[in-house]
Amino acid sequence: MEKASPILVKTCAAVVHETNEIKKLSQWSQKDLQAITVDYHATPINIPQAEIRIVNALLG
């Protein structure tokens, strides 16, 4: 069986529990969950720049 590619799910902290339940029910062992911090809820205009930094760091 071929190894599954990793999956990165970005979500806000408000739905982390629900997202983890989906991971568990779907048996997605290759899924990594990252939530944005509450700081971004107050300044949503900063989210795209933060996400670009995170993805660039993951890609190396």
User: Do residues 28 and 7 make contact, with C-beta atoms less than 8 angstroms apart?
Assistant: yes
pLDDT value for 27: 83
Q: For the chain, what are the domain ranges? A: 7-59
Q: Pick from 16, 9, 12: which is nearest to 42 by CA?
A: 12
How far is residue 23's CA from residue 9's CA, in Å, rounded to a whole number? 10
At 2-50, the pLDDT tens digits run 666 777 777 777 788 898 898 889 887 777 777 777 777 788 898 888 8
pLDDT value for 2: 62
Residue 1 has pLDDT above 60, yes or no: no
Does pTM surpass 0.75?
Answer: no
pLDDT value for 17: 86
